[in-house]
Structure 1
């Protein structure tokens, strides 16, 4: 592991309960992120420091850009659209309504404009991974997950990564961009001997995977072989996810949570729920959007 000194900046004292799902909009030059249990989708301008939020009425696990002034959201048990001008929420499709213990969690779009999102049920392996295509079709891609989390694609689009936080593992699959199929699951990173849990992740142009470590006070960077190469130590116990943003996609934005911490833990982790940024020597991948125009035929 190479030791690096990173400058950590607290860019937004949000005090979120469960800050998550950050995505960078290159068009708007803003960071979107969610506060899951407060039912909020946030829009943060890092230049002005202004943070606007929309109350979307229920749990929101993840978001992706879905055109001008529109986001697609994975909420408690289905997909919805959010109009970021009016705040209107439009239902799309109900999923897993028959599993009341489940809720949807992390999600992202692939290079072909398809939205991938996973469900979770702490303590039970009844979560699944889904792919929602721009033509309106829904595909169950993986089952038997406990907490479906951090996902993403390698720069060459040949590998898909998926985290099961409860199992403390990050998996790697073979990925076919044209069909959206995944296969040949392998354990990419095994953290079962650690006291913390892998959460949301981001991938840079070199193919390194940056994974936020719940209860680990850090973000760990793994190279494409799954070896730890860097570690960013943070002033919060529960970092939750990260994404690259900024003009050159070289700023790593990190969300965090305060939920479930005792008063003593809050004192040790006073800035829990805030948003942090780290300038890196790496460049992140562009954020893909949900768009039928990107679908390969």
Structure 2
């Protein structure tokens, strides 16, 4: 297991030398045995094939795509700008939006999403340019939307505890990861408690995942690393990357023994930097053996 400064810390390997403005949202698709990931502001969807060690851009859309889930059918469900939610598959391309827009989100976009055990989707939005906070929504399987968390300070990484009774939720601008009581029967969230106060840490908490041992792996934007935390919030390990803006982490491969990590050249709403400024791996997709397995992400089962 990697530890800060340890000689045996794993060495991340660059597997897709994309130069993503804001690489994000990696997710392993077990049906296809590939990793999908995004460049948010350009609405580019990439697919990396570990067996072939090759990648390709499979969708160059308009607007922005902030996150996606895998539907039970194998299609992807894309969460985009202005609150638009739209299916996509390699065979049929973009489908008709099941949500065209959300009131109050015309100047915003989705930023990170996760399916729950029942096929619902928790989907968070960015703050608006005039300073209005974001919102964490819940998309139910019938296609209806409701507010799960108001006044979110830049919605970001999400993950469930192994017992499926709690949900982690990252607010990047607040520099915190919270843990909510989660009611699987209703999808309701309650009883927020602090999990990680990152206000004094280097960088800002971004995307995250939960491994098979119930520990949280968080990416740190402008922190150049991912870090592992046990359920009481104690840091156990960290892995450094040749990129300042480390944005998200997921587990993949058939045994979920490989971690895939996205990075960025710049913020989603500003100009991209250069690799001289941001690190020689900025904007690329990496893989790394963390010495622990992950678990499959839940699939969405939203009707459309």
Q: TM-score, normalised by structure 2?
A: 0.91
Describe how 1:1-297 pairs up with structure 2 within 5 A.
Answer: 2-3=3-4, 4=6, 5-52=9-56, 53-77=58-82, 78-121=84-127, 124-259=131-266, 260=271, 262-263=273-274, 266-267=276-277, 269-291=279-301
- Superposed CA deviations along residues 108-153 of structure 1, whole A, max 9, x for unmatched, are 1011111110001167352101111111221110111121000110
Equivalent-residue separation in structure 2 for 1:82 and 1:71 (angstroms): 5
What secondary structure sits across from 1:266 in the alignment?
helix
- The separation in 2 between residues aligned to 1:199 and 1:147, in whole angstroms, is 9
> CA separation in 2, counterparts of 1:33 and 1:287?
14
Distance 1:39 1:66 in 2: 19
Structure 1 residue 91 displacement after superposition: 0.7
State the distance in 1 between where 2:149 and 2:278 align: 38
Query: After superposition, what is the alpha-carbon deviation per residue over 1:222-272, rounded to whole angstroms, capped at 9, x for unaligned?
Result: 111111110111111101001000121011100010025544x63560210
TM-score normalised to structure 1 length:
0.93
* Cα distance between partner residues in 2 of 1:82 and 1:97: 23
Partners of 2:214 and 2:72 in 1: how far apart? 27
Distance 2:183 2:243 in 1: 37
1:288 Cα offset (Å)? 1.1
Q: Is the 8 A contact 2:143 2:302 kept in 1?
A: no
Gaps of 5+ in 2: none
Indicate conservation of the 8 Å contact 2:263/2:283, yes or no.
Answer: yes
Distance (Å, rounded) in 2 between the aligned partners of 1:154 and 1:24:
19
Q: Which runs of 5+ in 1 are unaligned?
A: none
Residue pair 1:207, 1:224 contacting (<8 A) in 2 also = yes
